[in-house]
Structure 1
Amino acid sequence: MAEYWWSSRRAALRLDPSLCLPEQAPAGFLQLRPLIHKGWEMVLMAAELGRPNLDLAALLLDYAASLAPTLERRGWRAPQLQQALEQVRSEAIANDRQAWLALHRFYPGVPERLRRLALEGADWAVLTTKGGAFAAELLAAAALEPRAVYGHEQGSKPDVLLRLRAEAASIGFLEDRRPTLEQVRATPGLEAVVCLLVSWGYLGPADACALPEGIDLLTPESFAAPLARWPGFATVRPY
């Protein structure tokens, strides 16, 4: 969260130097984060949080529908915001990589559990809406070595999973965004993918409630257990 705000704030200020944005992430950004899907949205929301007359409650209620009109009102385009965000991150890594890395914190126990996957004969890959190069920097800093890293430039997560399904007999997909899992479940060709919603991460208040068929909740305790004990993973060999 610290890095998200740090980078988003700087990108927004480059696009509109007149903005007045606090150094630390405001409460509104924390509330919006579970709804944000792509990096450019973070920049847009950072700018919106600098608007004195922002109706945060209305934005939270109808977030997805607000994106297009907000871009139009500001005269911005999504690729423009994505480029600004990635430029801020690229410069941060080039100028002081350690300081940029220090803005990130892995969830407790996650790096250690990922390293143990190799001992269980499981390959794993990272699918992220972050740029692949930035995700690779974070993974390398934590001495994590996935089979592959697929950033936003590789396509949507369902698109990547479709390509992986052509190479792997079975796949398990862990994700902290319920709409993404629902999109995977609705994608022809991905019916056999085991979908797990992790209980940590940027979940909305009701995201873990009344999960649809085909999506199971994975708690930190279950995540730490052997693969065969993960929901739906008894016969899966994760890719």
Structure 2
Amino acid sequence: MPPAFDSPGPLVVFDFDGVLVDGMPEYWWAARTAALQLAPRLQLPESAPAAFGRLRPLIHKGWEMVLMAAELGRDELDIEHLLNDYPAALASALARWNWPAGLLQQQLEQVRAGAIGIDEAGWLARHRFYPGVKQRLVRLGEDGAAWAVLTTKGAVFAARLLEAAGLRPEALFGHEQGSKVEVLRHLQAQGRPLWFVEDRRRTLEAVRADPELAMVRCFLVSWGYLGPGDGQDLPPTVGWLTPEAFSAPLAQWP
């Protein structure tokens, strides 16, 4: 169960990748390395291809990155079909490669753990915090708020990046703690105001569709890994969070 919190203000829960941190160079490097370990004959470029950047807004969990890296090594891949019906293409790719999602996740985390063990500074350098994020997180306490991180990344890797940046959230929840909806339910049960900041519209839609989470304030950031049209026609229950709004006092957030 998530820990209890003592601050009287809201708990602002942030997604990690695409909200706090841009790690696109690391995502491709780790996904490519893991895919090549599973299928050494794949021909994959060292730098992330443009198609991977287009896919990133659709990718939800780390294991999907490894699978998509392998798909991008197929000559016959129809990238437009993949983008137009990602859930169906994901299922087809799993069947095509015959790799369980758990194996892909394990391979990805082994690659990352190995990189940290061999060259931690190099691994950290493949990430950057978005401009102003570190300063704003520090100032949240001045607004009477606490903050936490809720990510589909392995908690140990997000923790290492936060630690290197000198940032200390009240709590950190990785994919090991369950889905984001499940974690938010546990947090809301503690009876304090809960705000959730994401860059993935589908995740926010899942939160908004859950009647147990009706009181959670939701925000979609204007930066990060947004797909085409993600910021358009947002429901009134989802605030559009620009860098200017993010830097403003919490009372002025949309």
- Per the normalisation by structure 2, the TM-score is 0.90
Q: Of residues 184, 196, 211 in structure 1, which corresponds to 2:234?
A: 211
Q: Of residues 91, 116, 122 in structure 2, which corresponds to 1:99?
A: 122
Q: Distance in 2 between matches of 1:225 and 1:121?
A: 14
Structure 2 equivalent of residue 165 of structure 1: 188
The C-alpha deviation readout for 1:206-231, integer Å capped at 9, x for no partner, is 00000123111000000000011011
Structure 2 equivalent of residue 79 of structure 1: 102
Q: CA RMSD in A?
A: 0.7
Q: Distance in 1 between matches of 2:127 and 2:95?
A: 32
The C-alpha deviation readout for 1:178-216, integer Å capped at 9, x for no partner, is 000000011121000000000010001100000123111
Q: Distance in 2 between matches of 1:98 and 1:167?
A: 38
Identity among equivalent pairs (%): 63
The C-alpha deviation readout for 1:102-151, integer Å capped at 9, x for no partner, is 00011111111011112222110000000000000010011111001000
Q: Distance in 2 between matches of 1:227 and 1:168?
A: 19
Q: Distance in 2 between matches of 1:73 and 1:53?
A: 13
Q: Distance in 2 between matches of 1:61 and 1:43?
A: 19
Matched, 1:150 2:182: no
Q: Distance in 2 between matches of 1:88 and 1:187?
A: 35
Matched, 1:221 2:244: yes
My pick for the range that moved more, 161-170 or 127-136, is 161-170
Unaligned segments of structure 2, at least 5 residues: 1-23
The C-alpha deviation readout for 1:52-86, integer Å capped at 9, x for no partner, is 11110111111111111111111111101000000
Matched, 1:54 2:77: yes
Q: Of residues 43, 49, 60 in structure 2, which corresponds to 1:26?
A: 49
Give the aligned residue type for 2:39: D
Q: Distance in 2 between matches of 1:17 and 1:142?
A: 35
Partner of 1:35: helix, strand, or coil?
Answer: coil
Structure 1 moving runs of 4+ over 3 Å: none
Unaligned segments of structure 1, at least 5 residues: 232-239
Structure 2 equivalent of residue 195 of structure 1: 218
Q: Distance in 2 between matches of 1:168 and 1:38?
A: 29
Q: Of residues 60, 64, 69 in structure 2, which corresponds to 1:41?
A: 64
Structure 1 equivalent of residue 14 of structure 2: none
Q: Distance in 1 between matches of 2:75 and 2:127?
A: 29
Q: Distance in 2 between matches of 1:68 and 1:214?
A: 31
Matched, 1:179 2:202: yes
Give the aligned residue type for 1:207: D
Q: Distance in 2 between matches of 1:10 and 1:76?
A: 15
Give the aligned residue type for 2:179: S
Q: Of residues 67, 90, 108 in structure 2, which corresponds to 1:67?
A: 90
